[in-house]
A and B are shown apart, each in its own frame.
Chain A
Amino acid sequence: MPMKGRFPVRRTLQYLSQGDVVFKSSVKVMTVNYNTAGELSEGARKFVFFNIPQIQYRNPWVQIMLFRNMTPSPFLRFYLDSGEQVLVDVEDKTNKEITEHIKKILGKSKEMLEKEERERKKLSHPATFGPKKYHLRECMCEIEGQVPCPAFVPLPKEMRGKYKAAMKNEA
Protein backbone atom coordinates (compact mmCIF):
# COMPACT_ATOMS: atom_id res chain seq x y z
CA MET A 1 0.00 0.00 0.00
CA PRO A 2 2.70 2.65 0.68
CA MET A 3 4.53 1.74 -2.56
CA LYS A 4 3.14 3.51 -5.60
CA GLY A 5 4.34 3.39 -9.17
CA ARG A 6 6.93 1.37 -11.06
CA PHE A 7 10.01 2.49 -9.13
CA PRO A 8 8.73 3.70 -5.77
CA VAL A 9 12.29 4.37 -4.63
CA ARG A 10 12.09 7.57 -6.68
CA ARG A 11 9.63 8.90 -4.14
CA THR A 12 11.92 8.41 -1.11
CA LEU A 13 13.59 11.41 0.47
CA GLN A 14 16.92 9.64 0.52
CA TYR A 15 16.87 9.12 -3.23
CA LEU A 16 15.74 12.66 -3.91
CA SER A 17 18.37 14.27 -1.72
CA GLN A 18 21.05 12.25 -3.51
CA GLY A 19 20.56 14.44 -6.57
CA ASP A 20 23.68 16.56 -6.94
CA VAL A 21 22.56 18.98 -9.65
CA VAL A 22 21.86 22.37 -8.06
CA PHE A 23 21.32 25.00 -10.73
CA LYS A 24 22.77 28.49 -10.59
CA SER A 25 20.30 31.14 -9.55
CA SER A 26 20.13 32.48 -13.11
CA VAL A 27 18.40 29.33 -14.43
CA LYS A 28 14.64 29.80 -14.39
CA VAL A 29 13.09 27.25 -16.76
CA MET A 30 14.19 23.86 -17.99
CA THR A 31 12.45 22.29 -20.98
CA VAL A 32 12.90 18.69 -22.10
CA ASN A 33 11.80 17.55 -25.57
CA TYR A 34 11.93 13.79 -26.00
CA ASN A 35 10.21 10.89 -27.73
CA THR A 36 8.43 8.02 -26.11
CA ALA A 37 9.77 5.50 -28.67
CA GLY A 38 13.09 5.01 -30.39
CA GLU A 39 16.58 3.92 -29.35
CA LEU A 40 18.09 7.38 -29.60
CA SER A 41 15.68 8.85 -27.05
CA GLU A 42 16.34 6.10 -24.52
CA GLY A 43 18.80 8.15 -22.51
CA ALA A 44 16.45 11.11 -22.44
CA ARG A 45 13.59 8.92 -21.32
CA LYS A 46 15.66 7.48 -18.48
CA PHE A 47 16.75 10.98 -17.53
CA VAL A 48 13.15 12.15 -17.32
CA PHE A 49 12.10 9.09 -15.36
CA PHE A 50 14.94 8.90 -12.84
CA ASN A 51 16.78 12.18 -12.61
CA ILE A 52 14.20 14.90 -13.02
CA PRO A 53 12.58 14.24 -9.61
CA GLN A 54 15.99 14.68 -8.02
CA ILE A 55 16.62 17.90 -9.89
CA GLN A 56 13.24 19.35 -9.02
CA TYR A 57 13.74 18.42 -5.37
CA ARG A 58 17.04 20.28 -5.22
CA ASN A 59 15.70 23.21 -7.29
CA PRO A 60 12.12 23.82 -6.22
CA TRP A 61 12.00 27.25 -7.91
CA VAL A 62 13.00 26.06 -11.38
CA GLN A 63 10.09 25.35 -13.73
CA ILE A 64 10.53 22.07 -15.59
CA MET A 65 8.42 21.29 -18.64
CA LEU A 66 8.33 18.07 -20.64
CA PHE A 67 7.30 17.82 -24.29
CA ARG A 68 6.74 14.40 -25.83
CA ASN A 69 6.91 13.40 -29.49
CA MET A 70 7.16 16.89 -30.87
CA THR A 71 10.58 16.76 -32.47
CA PRO A 72 12.48 13.93 -34.16
CA SER A 73 15.46 14.19 -31.85
CA PRO A 74 15.60 14.81 -28.09
CA PHE A 75 17.12 17.92 -26.53
CA LEU A 76 17.12 20.05 -23.39
CA ARG A 77 16.68 23.80 -23.34
CA PHE A 78 17.42 26.12 -20.43
CA TYR A 79 16.05 29.64 -20.16
CA LEU A 80 18.17 31.96 -18.02
CA ASP A 81 16.98 35.17 -16.46
CA SER A 82 19.11 37.24 -18.82
CA GLY A 83 16.98 35.93 -21.69
CA GLU A 84 19.70 33.62 -22.87
CA GLN A 85 18.67 30.15 -24.03
CA VAL A 86 21.02 27.20 -23.70
CA LEU A 87 20.44 24.24 -25.99
CA VAL A 88 21.75 20.81 -25.05
CA ASP A 89 21.52 17.99 -27.58
CA VAL A 90 20.98 14.68 -25.79
CA GLU A 91 20.48 12.29 -28.66
CA ASP A 92 22.27 9.02 -28.16
CA LYS A 93 23.45 9.85 -24.62
CA THR A 94 22.83 7.92 -21.42
CA ASN A 95 21.02 9.62 -18.56
CA LYS A 96 24.19 9.71 -16.51
CA GLU A 97 26.01 11.56 -19.26
CA ILE A 98 23.17 14.04 -19.51
CA THR A 99 23.26 14.81 -15.79
CA GLU A 100 27.03 15.21 -15.87
CA HIS A 101 26.76 17.55 -18.80
CA ILE A 102 24.19 19.87 -17.25
CA LYS A 103 25.95 19.78 -13.92
CA LYS A 104 29.07 20.99 -15.66
CA ILE A 105 27.51 23.82 -17.63
CA LEU A 106 24.79 25.14 -15.34
CA GLY A 107 25.22 23.54 -11.95
CA LYS A 108 26.71 25.10 -8.86
CA SER A 109 30.15 23.75 -8.19
CA LYS A 110 30.91 21.78 -5.06
CA GLU A 111 32.92 24.63 -3.51
CA MET A 112 30.05 27.02 -4.03
CA LEU A 113 27.59 24.65 -2.42
CA GLU A 114 29.89 24.15 0.54
CA LYS A 115 30.37 27.89 0.91
CA GLU A 116 26.62 28.43 0.92
CA GLU A 117 26.24 25.69 3.50
CA ARG A 118 28.78 27.36 5.74
CA GLU A 119 27.05 30.72 5.36
CA ARG A 120 23.76 29.19 6.35
CA LYS A 121 25.33 27.53 9.37
CA LYS A 122 26.77 30.84 10.51
CA LEU A 123 23.31 32.36 10.87
CA SER A 124 22.21 29.99 13.63
CA HIS A 125 24.14 29.11 16.75
CA PRO A 126 23.92 25.45 17.66
CA ALA A 127 24.38 26.05 21.38
CA THR A 128 21.22 28.10 21.88
CA PHE A 129 17.91 26.50 22.74
CA GLY A 130 14.34 27.59 22.12
CA PRO A 131 11.42 26.87 19.75
CA LYS A 132 12.04 23.87 17.53
CA LYS A 133 11.67 26.04 14.44
CA TYR A 134 14.81 28.04 15.16
CA HIS A 135 16.91 25.90 17.47
CA LEU A 136 18.03 22.33 17.83
CA ARG A 137 16.83 21.88 21.41
CA GLU A 138 13.84 23.31 23.19
CA CYS A 139 14.79 23.20 26.86
CA MET A 140 17.98 23.33 28.86
CA CYS A 141 17.22 19.87 30.20
CA GLU A 142 17.81 18.37 26.71
CA ILE A 143 21.45 19.50 26.58
CA GLU A 144 24.09 16.92 27.53
CA GLY A 145 25.71 17.59 30.85
CA GLN A 146 22.85 19.65 32.23
CA VAL A 147 20.32 18.80 34.89
CA PRO A 148 17.82 16.31 33.37
CA CYS A 149 14.16 17.16 33.07
CA PRO A 150 12.43 16.75 36.42
CA ALA A 151 9.51 15.15 34.51
CA PHE A 152 11.70 12.08 33.94
CA VAL A 153 14.29 12.19 36.74
CA PRO A 154 13.15 13.76 40.06
CA LEU A 155 15.41 16.53 41.33
CA PRO A 156 17.45 15.88 44.46
CA LYS A 157 15.55 17.25 47.42
CA GLU A 158 18.14 19.95 48.12
CA MET A 159 17.18 21.64 44.84
CA ARG A 160 13.45 21.52 45.43
CA GLY A 161 11.60 24.63 46.55
CA LYS A 162 9.48 22.84 49.14
CA TYR A 163 12.55 21.42 50.89
CA LYS A 164 14.30 24.77 50.87
CA ALA A 165 11.18 26.46 52.24
CA ALA A 166 10.85 23.78 54.92
CA MET A 167 14.50 24.30 55.90
CA LYS A 168 14.00 28.04 56.09
CA ASN A 169 10.90 27.63 58.21
CA GLU A 170 12.73 25.30 60.55
CA ALA A 171 15.64 27.72 60.91
Chain B
Amino acid sequence: MLPALRRCRPGPVPLPALAAALGPGAFPGLGPGPFPGLCPAWSPRAVPARGRKTRHDPPAKSKAGRVKLPPPVDPEELLVVLERYRQHRLVLSALRAEFRAEVLQRKREERLAAEGSVEELEEHRRLMAWNEEENARQRARREERLRKEEEEQKRRKLEIAEKQARKMEAFLEEKEKEVLQLQEEAKNFITPENLEARIEECLDNPRNYNFAIDKDGRIVKRTVLS
Protein backbone atom coordinates (compact mmCIF):
# COMPACT_ATOMS: atom_id res chain seq x y z
CA MET B 1 0.00 0.00 0.00
CA LEU B 2 1.81 3.09 1.17
CA PRO B 3 5.57 2.83 0.74
CA ALA B 4 6.07 4.46 4.19
CA LEU B 5 4.22 1.57 5.83
CA ARG B 6 7.06 -0.67 4.77
CA ARG B 7 9.17 1.05 7.34
CA CYS B 8 7.02 -0.21 10.21
CA ARG B 9 9.10 -2.73 12.09
CA PRO B 10 8.15 -5.22 14.79
CA GLY B 11 9.96 -5.17 18.15
CA PRO B 12 10.03 -3.04 21.28
CA VAL B 13 10.91 0.59 21.09
CA PRO B 14 13.27 1.82 23.83
CA LEU B 15 11.33 5.06 23.92
CA PRO B 16 12.35 6.57 27.26
CA ALA B 17 16.02 5.79 26.56
CA LEU B 18 15.80 7.47 23.18
CA ALA B 19 13.96 10.46 24.53
CA ALA B 20 16.56 10.85 27.28
CA ALA B 21 19.43 10.44 24.86
CA LEU B 22 18.30 12.97 22.30
CA GLY B 23 16.84 15.57 24.61
CA PRO B 24 13.31 16.61 25.38
CA GLY B 25 12.86 18.69 22.29
CA ALA B 26 13.72 16.03 19.75
CA PHE B 27 10.40 14.22 19.26
CA PRO B 28 7.54 16.64 19.61
CA GLY B 29 5.13 14.51 17.64
CA LEU B 30 6.54 11.10 18.35
CA GLY B 31 5.01 10.57 21.81
CA PRO B 32 3.01 7.40 22.16
CA GLY B 33 3.09 6.66 18.46
CA PRO B 34 6.49 5.29 17.46
CA PHE B 35 6.35 1.78 16.31
CA PRO B 36 8.66 -0.84 17.90
CA GLY B 37 11.90 -1.36 16.05
CA LEU B 38 13.76 1.89 16.37
CA CYS B 39 17.38 1.78 15.54
CA PRO B 40 19.35 4.02 17.85
CA ALA B 41 22.13 4.50 15.32
CA TRP B 42 19.94 6.57 13.00
CA SER B 43 19.26 9.76 14.97
CA PRO B 44 17.26 12.56 13.34
CA ARG B 45 20.23 14.93 13.64
CA ALA B 46 22.73 12.83 11.56
CA VAL B 47 22.29 13.78 7.90
CA PRO B 48 24.54 12.04 5.30
CA ALA B 49 27.19 14.42 3.94
CA ARG B 50 30.11 13.61 1.64
CA GLY B 51 32.85 15.50 3.50
CA ARG B 52 36.40 14.37 2.77
CA LYS B 53 35.89 11.10 0.87
CA THR B 54 34.45 10.60 -2.64
CA ARG B 55 31.84 7.96 -3.35
CA HIS B 56 34.51 5.60 -4.69
CA ASP B 57 36.52 5.51 -1.42
CA PRO B 58 35.86 2.49 0.79
CA PRO B 59 33.96 3.13 4.02
CA ALA B 60 35.90 3.17 7.32
CA LYS B 61 36.53 0.05 9.45
CA SER B 62 34.47 1.51 12.29
CA LYS B 63 31.43 1.40 10.02
CA ALA B 64 31.89 -2.30 9.21
CA GLY B 65 28.90 -3.60 11.18
CA ARG B 66 26.70 -0.57 10.60
CA VAL B 67 23.12 -1.29 9.68
CA LYS B 68 21.25 1.69 8.29
CA LEU B 69 17.52 1.62 8.86
CA PRO B 70 14.95 4.16 7.71
CA PRO B 71 12.99 6.15 10.29
CA PRO B 72 10.17 4.17 11.93
CA VAL B 73 6.57 4.85 11.04
CA ASP B 74 3.38 4.43 13.01
CA PRO B 75 0.64 3.37 10.57
CA GLU B 76 -2.32 4.99 12.35
CA GLU B 77 -0.49 8.24 12.83
CA LEU B 78 0.73 8.04 9.25
CA LEU B 79 -2.76 7.58 7.89
CA VAL B 80 -4.13 10.38 10.04
CA VAL B 81 -1.33 12.75 9.03
CA LEU B 82 -1.63 11.89 5.37
CA GLU B 83 -5.35 12.39 5.40
CA ARG B 84 -4.98 15.75 7.10
CA TYR B 85 -2.33 16.86 4.61
CA ARG B 86 -4.46 15.72 1.72
CA GLN B 87 -7.41 17.77 2.90
CA HIS B 88 -5.21 20.78 3.59
CA ARG B 89 -3.64 20.70 0.18
CA LEU B 90 -6.99 20.15 -1.48
CA VAL B 91 -8.42 23.21 0.19
CA LEU B 92 -5.37 25.33 -0.58
CA SER B 93 -5.23 24.44 -4.24
CA ALA B 94 -8.96 25.04 -4.55
CA LEU B 95 -8.54 28.48 -3.03
CA ARG B 96 -5.68 29.29 -5.33
CA ALA B 97 -7.64 28.18 -8.39
CA GLU B 98 -10.56 30.27 -7.22
CA PHE B 99 -8.44 33.40 -6.83
CA ARG B 100 -6.72 32.82 -10.14
CA ALA B 101 -10.04 32.48 -11.95
CA GLU B 102 -11.32 35.64 -10.28
CA VAL B 103 -8.27 37.65 -11.32
CA LEU B 104 -8.51 36.42 -14.91
CA GLN B 105 -12.18 37.20 -15.04
CA ARG B 106 -11.61 40.72 -13.80
CA LYS B 107 -8.83 41.29 -16.34
CA ARG B 108 -11.02 40.01 -19.16
CA GLU B 109 -13.91 42.21 -18.13
CA GLU B 110 -11.66 45.24 -17.96
CA ARG B 111 -10.23 44.55 -21.38
CA LEU B 112 -13.66 44.08 -22.91
CA ALA B 113 -14.96 47.20 -21.26
CA ALA B 114 -12.02 49.20 -22.53
CA GLU B 115 -12.37 47.93 -26.09
CA GLY B 116 -16.07 47.62 -26.67
CA SER B 117 -17.13 50.91 -25.16
CA VAL B 118 -19.42 53.12 -27.18
CA GLU B 119 -17.13 56.14 -27.31
CA GLU B 120 -14.35 54.02 -28.70
CA LEU B 121 -16.53 52.69 -31.50
CA GLU B 122 -17.72 56.18 -32.23
CA GLU B 123 -14.18 57.44 -32.32
CA HIS B 124 -13.19 54.59 -34.61
CA ARG B 125 -16.01 55.32 -37.00
CA ARG B 126 -15.15 58.99 -37.06
CA LEU B 127 -11.53 58.25 -37.83
CA MET B 128 -12.49 55.84 -40.59
CA ALA B 129 -14.77 58.49 -42.09
CA TRP B 130 -11.91 60.98 -41.98
CA ASN B 131 -9.70 58.41 -43.67
CA GLU B 132 -12.30 57.99 -46.40
CA GLU B 133 -12.38 61.73 -46.95
CA GLU B 134 -8.64 61.83 -47.15
CA ASN B 135 -8.73 59.06 -49.74
CA ALA B 136 -11.39 60.93 -51.70
CA ARG B 137 -9.25 64.07 -51.67
CA GLN B 138 -6.29 62.04 -52.84
CA ARG B 139 -8.42 60.58 -55.60
CA ALA B 140 -9.47 64.04 -56.70
CA ARG B 141 -5.86 65.18 -56.72
CA ARG B 142 -4.84 62.14 -58.71
CA GLU B 143 -7.59 62.63 -61.28
CA GLU B 144 -6.61 66.27 -61.61
CA ARG B 145 -3.04 65.29 -62.19
CA LEU B 146 -3.95 62.65 -64.74
CA ARG B 147 -6.23 65.06 -66.56
CA LYS B 148 -3.47 67.64 -66.72
CA GLU B 149 -1.05 65.10 -67.96
CA GLU B 150 -3.43 64.00 -70.67
CA GLU B 151 -3.96 67.56 -71.80
CA GLU B 152 -0.27 68.15 -71.82
CA GLN B 153 0.24 65.09 -73.95
CA LYS B 154 -2.46 66.11 -76.42
CA ARG B 155 -1.00 69.56 -76.75
CA ARG B 156 2.42 68.13 -77.38
CA LYS B 157 1.05 65.81 -80.03
CA LEU B 158 -0.70 68.67 -81.77
CA GLU B 159 2.44 70.71 -81.73
CA ILE B 160 4.43 67.93 -83.23
CA ALA B 161 1.85 67.38 -85.95
CA GLU B 162 1.88 71.10 -86.76
CA LYS B 163 5.63 71.20 -86.94
CA GLN B 164 5.60 68.20 -89.17
CA ALA B 165 3.06 69.81 -91.48
CA ARG B 166 5.09 73.00 -91.62
CA LYS B 167 8.22 71.09 -92.42
CA MET B 168 6.42 69.25 -95.19
CA GLU B 169 5.20 72.54 -96.62
CA ALA B 170 8.61 74.12 -96.54
CA PHE B 171 10.10 71.10 -98.20
CA LEU B 172 7.52 71.12 -100.92
CA GLU B 173 8.12 74.81 -101.53
CA GLU B 174 11.82 74.24 -101.83
CA LYS B 175 11.26 71.51 -104.30
CA GLU B 176 8.87 73.68 -106.31
CA LYS B 177 11.42 76.45 -106.47
CA GLU B 178 14.08 74.10 -107.64
CA VAL B 179 11.85 72.73 -110.31
CA LEU B 180 11.02 76.23 -111.57
CA GLN B 181 14.64 77.20 -111.53
CA LEU B 182 15.52 74.12 -113.52
CA GLN B 183 12.83 74.98 -115.98
CA GLU B 184 14.30 78.41 -116.34
CA GLU B 185 17.74 77.04 -116.92
CA ALA B 186 16.44 74.48 -119.36
CA LYS B 187 15.82 77.31 -121.76
CA ASN B 188 19.56 77.93 -121.99
CA PHE B 189 20.59 74.31 -122.33
CA ILE B 190 22.72 73.21 -125.20
CA THR B 191 20.84 70.58 -127.21
CA PRO B 192 22.07 68.69 -130.27
CA GLU B 193 19.95 71.02 -132.40
CA ASN B 194 21.48 74.31 -131.35
CA LEU B 195 24.92 72.84 -130.75
CA GLU B 196 26.35 74.24 -133.95
CA ALA B 197 24.76 77.64 -133.37
CA ARG B 198 26.05 77.83 -129.85
CA ILE B 199 29.57 76.87 -130.87
CA GLU B 200 29.53 79.56 -133.53
CA GLU B 201 28.27 82.00 -130.99
CA CYS B 202 31.05 81.12 -128.52
CA LEU B 203 33.72 81.41 -131.17
CA ASP B 204 32.37 84.76 -132.31
CA ASN B 205 32.33 86.26 -128.85
CA PRO B 206 35.55 85.42 -127.10
CA ARG B 207 35.26 85.93 -123.33
CA ASN B 208 38.16 87.07 -121.34
CA TYR B 209 38.39 85.27 -118.00
CA ASN B 210 41.74 86.81 -117.03
CA PHE B 211 41.97 89.29 -114.22
CA ALA B 212 44.68 91.05 -112.30
CA ILE B 213 44.88 91.53 -108.56
CA ASP B 214 47.21 93.73 -106.61
CA LYS B 215 48.44 93.45 -103.08
CA ASP B 216 45.61 95.52 -101.75
CA GLY B 217 43.06 93.06 -103.10
CA ARG B 218 41.70 95.16 -105.89
CA ILE B 219 40.60 93.07 -108.84
CA VAL B 220 41.01 94.36 -112.35
CA LYS B 221 38.96 92.50 -114.95
CA ARG B 222 39.64 94.61 -117.94
CA THR B 223 42.77 93.06 -119.29
CA VAL B 224 44.11 92.53 -122.71
CA LEU B 225 43.08 89.29 -124.37
CA SER B 226 45.68 87.71 -126.53
Contacts and interface: CB of A to CB of B under 8 A. Distances in A.
A86 B115 contact: no
B134 A73 contact: no
Interface stretch (A6-14, A63-71, A88-96, A148-156): A88-96
Contacts of B142: 73, 91-92
Nearest to A25: B115
Given A87-B135, A92-B142, A105 B115 contact: no
A106 B141 CA distance: 24
B131 interface: yes
Chain A interface mostly helix, strand, loop or mixed?
mixed
B85 interface: no
Q: What 10 A-B pairs are tightest by C-beta distance, nearest first? A: A89-B138, A105-B127, A89-B135, A105-B131, A91-B142, A86-B131, A91-B138, A88-B131, A87-B135, A86-B128
Chain B interface mostly helix, strand, loop or mixed?
helix
- The size class of the interface chain A forms with chain B is 10 to 19
B115 A88 contact: no
Interface residues of B, number: 12
Given A86-B131, A87-B131, A89-B138, 20 more contacts: A25-B115, A26-B115, A73-B142, A86-B128, A87-B135, A88-B131, A88-B134, A88-B135, A91-B138, A91-B142, A92-B138, A92-B141, A92-B142, A93-B138, A101-B134, A104-B130, A105-B127, A105-B128, A105-B130, A106-B127
Interface string A86-117: 11110111000000010011100000000000
Contacts of B130: 104-105
A15 B22 CA distance: 70
A88 B128 CA distance: 10
Nearest to B127: A105
B108 interface: no
Contacts of A105: 127-128, 130-131
